[in-house]
Amino acid sequence: MAAVNTLAATIMPTDNTNFEDKDTVPLWLFPYSTFRNVWDIFIFLVVSYNCFYTPLQIMILYEDVSDMQCYTSGSFWLDLIIDMLFWVDTALNFFFAFKDNETKMVVANKTAVRAKFLRSSSFFINIIASSQPFFTVVTCSLDPSRAVLVMLQLPRMMRIFLFNPQFTTFRNYLSEKRQVKINESMYRYVSHLEAGPPSDPF
């Protein structure tokens, strides 16, 4: 129990937070801080875009490979920007404090935060899904067949598994921070539309 108290701070940091502790992340990285709220909502919207648009890209049969997504395509650059945003999100998650589900305390210790993220499914999903731009750039330069370009879209499909945890984060923000009454039946229905690993803080 002492170890937990050493690593944790209250959900709205007060006396339990040691602001002089160099191993503690700053307040703007805590759950429900202004930055975290904006960033989490933004990533939720981006994940939602990926969940619907990427399957369409794979499904549609293009007559011309150049129509799909090489350098002249607007969707190519949009997807590339989104991939870069997920690299930023991956880096930030190494510093985002999280709420422990058992103790209901916010863990702000840097070592604990990084260890938690490295063990999370979101870390591996972000790394694999965001590796796609490198292979696309190389493959587009080699003038590939459409089949190859479709295969290169598949890593982005893994972000579908991020919808459930991001949706849960958005739901928690509305209920805990904004005191919005949540229709739990509808929440459970929507959260199960996307099959994925159990929700985690990332």
Per DSSP, the three-state class of 107 is strand
User: Would you give per-residue pLDDT tens digits along the chain (202 residues)?
Assistant: 444 444 443 334 444 444 445 689 999 999 999 999 999 999 999 998 888 888 887 777 554 444 445 556 677 788 888 888 999 999 999 999 998 988 989 999 999 999 999 999 999 999 888 887 666 666 666 555 555 666 667 788 888 888 888 888 888 888 888 888 888 888 887 777 654 444 454 4
Per DSSP, the three-state class of 53 is helix
Domain of 110 in residue numbering reads as: 22-159
Task: Quote the pLDDT of residue 179.
Answer: 85
8 Å CB contact between 65 and 146 = yes
Judge whether 66 lies within some domain: yes
Rg over CA atoms, the chain? 19
Judge whether 200 lies within some domain: no
CA distance 22 to 16: 15
Place of tokens 């790394």: 127
Place of tokens 């958005």: 170
Task: Quote the pLDDT of residue 6.
Answer: 42
Judge whether 99 lies within some domain: yes
Q: CA 141 → CA 19, 70, 135, distances in Å?
A: 51, 9, 10
Task: Quote the pLDDT of residue 87.
Answer: 92
Task: Quote the pLDDT of residue 45.
Answer: 92
CA distance 75 to 88: 20
Task: Quote the pLDDT of residue 11.
Answer: 38
CA distance 180 to 128: 35
Judge whether 12 lies within some domain: no
Judge whether 96 lies within some domain: yes
Task: Quote the pLDDT of residue 91.
Answer: 95
Structural domains counted in the chain: 1
Task: Quote the pLDDT of residue 95.
Answer: 95
**Global pTM value:** 0.74
Task: Quote the pLDDT of residue 18.
Answer: 42
Judge whether 37 lies within some domain: yes
Residue 105 burial (CB count, 10 A): 17
8 Å CB contact between 54 and 157 = yes
Judge whether 110 lies within some domain: yes
CA distance 29 to 44: 17
